[in-house]
A and B are shown apart, each in its own frame.
Chain A
């Protein structure tokens, strides 16, 4: 309290610093995206974002994102559940490995999959025999997206589940409730907001993923180009209006995600007030 009362100048210096920082690093580029995207007028902008390749890229991004979110939701719940509700050997190791994608560069993640499923891999003939192509195809993009986003949901759930402990589940089990009933009636209401929050973070990351996807995609226009890759392609071809117009789609998606995030946090806090 003392600090807050007597540090008027410090407060203002810090506020100005933060505002300048945000303006230079965030608002200015965002503003520039809008300006450049609209440089050729609204007509040019609409033409850019309704370009068939742009639409295909956007659809592929959404497809990869949905896959990543679905797979990681299941995996995230399973991982968080087993790490918090059971005691077993190797728990710490698993917990550390889950965090790996956060620390590993996405390029390396992409290369790992190229090595695992590419021509030089022993898996390649087997998969090829079944007619499955992973590298330079949509499955590779989905795999890369899943890889870079898989810590997000479990990391949101683990603290909540740890704080809750196992008492409520034990109480329900002692009254004869089955595992699924316990999950649905006791655990799920508890993790609901954290889970949705994790899904939002996972979505945001999945939509924007560039590095790992870039290695695995092969850059086939209209086939394996996601939105970020498509933007790069346009940019490299000096089509700045097109690149920034496509970027604006990602920006709009990001703003929607941000709004969802704020709303989820508010709802979650409000509910926490009632139940704690």
Chain B
């Protein structure tokens, strides 16, 4: 019965809220044990998908399958899921202990087993000694971990998390991301989390499902999405993308159709001080530095090349460039978007050189 490749599956799901269509023909397969991100801008329908899997919303049409069984008519509480809410939804009038024990008490677990399980989970989330506190007496990070423990207490098969890091300040968020990833990997539970933050999705998830306007745009590993974006939306949404209209101005790039647009990413571009690079000295073009943004571990250099302002990254160990300086710019490749099609184009000088060699 169990098919590990499609542990959680959505088939042809549609969902309306009044006249607004939140889900349009959603088809998703999630393998057992994977950590999957539903990534998209707000209003793209990602939370609706999560809530439908949890049984908190019901699709107008289509099937939801868990472990090979259609669960459309099974209440959320019998689907074997744990849910972590965006604002955690911890029970304010219960202590940490009672919060974690709630699901077990509902299931009439003997009190001594509950005690063991809660202690075990408190240890797992590093919150030992906090069992008598109320949620309001915890820090944001602690609340999130307690919510995580509460969801895990009844041993669910699937863990669903709605924007799990949204309510936490930036510094703690980074720690928690790593922590959550390690936790989930350690437990080995199939997990789906919703996020609008691509960095978060790329860093935490094994697989990413990109949603936009109620549709699934593309699903794949972060590397796949990065290297082979399937739709114009994914190209723009993943990575730091700079659209360029007249990319035929750049040397060694031929223009496609009249409506084509190129998408550049900083990592596709190298900037050299005059004479710094021998390899690209002939094929590079000249640009003027307009702005330098210190990013902590590196520098973002904004360069005017022909009419386009493009960005590139330089290491803080590289020779320093200044605003107004004329530099050599070399573009390795770019994405060309033509209607719904996305193709990768390489700098033709690279091909020529490889032919020569």
The residue from B78, B89, B92 contacting A275, defined by CB atoms under 8 A apart: B92
Assess the B93–A176 pair: CB atoms within 8 A.
no
Given contacts A167-B89, A275-B134, 10 further A-B contacts (CB under 8 A): A165-B87, A173-B76, A176-B78, A177-B102, A177-B106, A190-B92, A274-B134, A275-B135, A275-B136, A276-B92
Which of A171, A181, A274 is most buried by chain B, counting CB atoms within 10 A of its CB? A171
The residue from A174, A189, A274, A275 contacting B76, defined by CB atoms under 8 A apart: A174
B8 contacts partner chain A, Cβ-Cβ < 8 Å: no
Assess the B93–A173 pair: CB atoms within 8 A.
no
Interface digits, B135-162 against A, CB 8 Å rule (1 contact, 0 not)?
1110000000000001000100000000
Query: What residues of A have a CB within 8 angstroms of the CB of B106 in the complex?
Result: 172, 175-177, 181
> Measured between C-beta atoms, what is the minimum distance from B302 to chain A in Å?
43
**For the complex, what is the distance from the CA of A70 to the CA of B55, rounded to whole Å?**
36
Query: What residues of A have a CB within 8 angstroms of the CB of B350 in the complex?
Result: none
Tell me which residues from 65 to 85 in chain B have a Cβ below 8 Å from any Cβ of chain A: 76-78, 81, 83, 85
User: Are A189 and B93 CB-contacts (below 8 A) given A174-B56, A177-B102?
Assistant: yes
Query: What residues of A have a CB within 8 angstroms of the CB of B91 in the complex?
Result: 168, 171-172, 185-186
Query: What residues of A have a CB within 8 angstroms of the CB of B78 in the complex?
Result: 176
> Measured between C-beta atoms, what is the minimum distance from A120 to chain B in Å?
46
What are 6 A-B residue pairs whose CB atoms fall within 8 Å in the complex?
Answer: A172-B91, A174-B54, A174-B77, A174-B81, A185-B102, A189-B92
User: Are A276 and B136 CB-contacts (below 8 A) given A173-B76, A177-B102, A190-B93?
Assistant: yes
> Measured between C-beta atoms, what is the minimum distance from A201 to chain B in Å?
23
Query: What residues of A have a CB within 8 angstroms of the CB of B55 in the complex?
Result: 174
**For the complex, what is the distance from the CA of A186 to the CA of B105, rounded to whole Å?**
14
Query: What residues of A have a CB within 8 angstroms of the CB of B154 in the complex?
Result: 175-176
B103 contacts partner chain A, Cβ-Cβ < 8 Å: yes
> Measured between C-beta atoms, what is the minimum distance from A272 to chain B in Å?
10
Which of B85, B92, B107, B154 is most buried by chain A, counting CB atoms within 10 A of its CB? B92
Query: What residues of B have a CB within 8 angstroms of the CB of A177 in the complex?
Result: 77, 102, 106
Query: What residues of B have a CB within 8 angstroms of the CB of A170 in the complex?
Result: 56, 83, 85, 89
User: Are A167 and B85 CB-contacts (below 8 A) given A175-B154, A177-B102, A181-B106?
Assistant: yes
Assess the A172–B56 pair: CB atoms within 8 A.
no
Interface digits, A47-75 against B, CB 8 Å rule (1 contact, 0 not)?
00000000000000000000000000000
Which chain B residue has the least Cβ–Cβ distance from A164? B92
**For the complex, what is the distance from the CA of A171 to the CA of B106, rounded to whole Å?**
12
B binding-site residues for A, Cβ under 8 Å: 54-56, 76-78, 81, 83, 85, 87, 89-94, 102-103, 106-107, 134-137, 150, 154
**For the complex, what is the distance from the CA of A165 to the CA of B154, rounded to whole Å?**
24
Q: How many residues of A contact B (CB 8 A)?
A: 19
User: Are A176 and B103 CB-contacts (below 8 A) given A275-B136, A276-B136?
Assistant: yes
**For the complex, what is the distance from the CA of A189 to the CA of B134, rounded to whole Å?**
13
> Measured between C-beta atoms, what is the minimum distance from B352 to chain A in Å?
60
**For the complex, what is the distance from the CA of A9 to the CA of B54, rounded to whole Å?**
63
**For the complex, what is the distance from the CA of A190 to the CA of B137, rounded to whole Å?**
17
**For the complex, what is the distance from the CA of A171 to the CA of B77, rounded to whole Å?**
10
Tell me which residues from 234 to 276 in chain A have a Cβ below 8 Å from any Cβ of chain B: 274-276
Query: What residues of B have a CB within 8 angstroms of the CB of A181 in the complex?
Result: 106
Pairs of residues from A and B, 10 with the lowest C-beta to C-beta distance, nearest first:
A167-B89, A189-B93, A175-B103, A176-B77, A171-B89, A275-B92, A176-B106, A177-B106, A174-B76, A168-B89
User: Are A167 and B87 CB-contacts (below 8 A) given A175-B154, A275-B92?
Assistant: yes
> Measured between C-beta atoms, what is the minimum distance from B199 to chain A in Å?
26
**For the complex, what is the distance from the CA of A172 to the CA of B90, rounded to whole Å?**
10
Query: What residues of A have a CB within 8 angstroms of the CB of B92 in the complex?
Result: 168, 189-190, 275-276
Tell me which residues from 161 to 210 in chain A have a Cβ below 8 Å from any Cβ of chain B: 165, 167-168, 170-177, 181, 185-186, 189-190
Which chain B residue has the least Cβ–Cβ distance from A170? B56
Query: What residues of B have a CB within 8 angstroms of the CB of A173 in the complex?
Result: 76-77
Which chain A residue has the least Cβ–Cβ distance from B92? A275
> Measured between C-beta atoms, what is the minimum distance from A190 to chain B in Å?
6
Which chain B residue has the least Cβ–Cβ distance from A169? B89
The residue from B107, B134, B137, B150 contacting A176, defined by CB atoms under 8 A apart: B107
> Measured between C-beta atoms, what is the minimum distance from B6 to chain A in Å?
23
Which chain B residue has the least Cβ–Cβ distance from A192? B93
**For the complex, what is the distance from the CA of A171 to the CA of B91, rounded to whole Å?**
9
> Measured between C-beta atoms, what is the minimum distance from A84 to chain B in Å?
16
**For the complex, what is the distance from the CA of A146 to the CA of B76, rounded to whole Å?**
40
**For the complex, what is the distance from the CA of A97 to the CA of B306, rounded to whole Å?**
67
> Measured between C-beta atoms, what is the minimum distance from A22 to chain B in Å?
38
User: Are A274 and B102 CB-contacts (below 8 A) given A174-B56, A176-B107, A186-B91?
Assistant: no
Which of B54, B81, B103, B107 is most buried by chain A, counting CB atoms within 10 A of its CB? B103
Query: What residues of A have a CB within 8 angstroms of the CB of B77 in the complex?
Result: 173-177
**For the complex, what is the distance from the CA of A275 to the CA of B134, rounded to whole Å?**
7
Which chain B residue has the least Cβ–Cβ distance from A188? B93
Assess the A274–B87 pair: CB atoms within 8 A.
no
Query: What residues of B have a CB within 8 angstroms of the CB of A168 in the complex?
Result: 89-92
Query: What residues of A have a CB within 8 angstroms of the CB of B85 in the complex?
Result: 167, 170-171
**For the complex, what is the distance from the CA of A177 to the CA of B150, rounded to whole Å?**
14
Query: What residues of B have a CB within 8 angstroms of the CB of A171 in the complex?
Result: 83, 85, 89, 91, 150
**For the complex, what is the distance from the CA of A173 to the CA of B85, rounded to whole Å?**
13
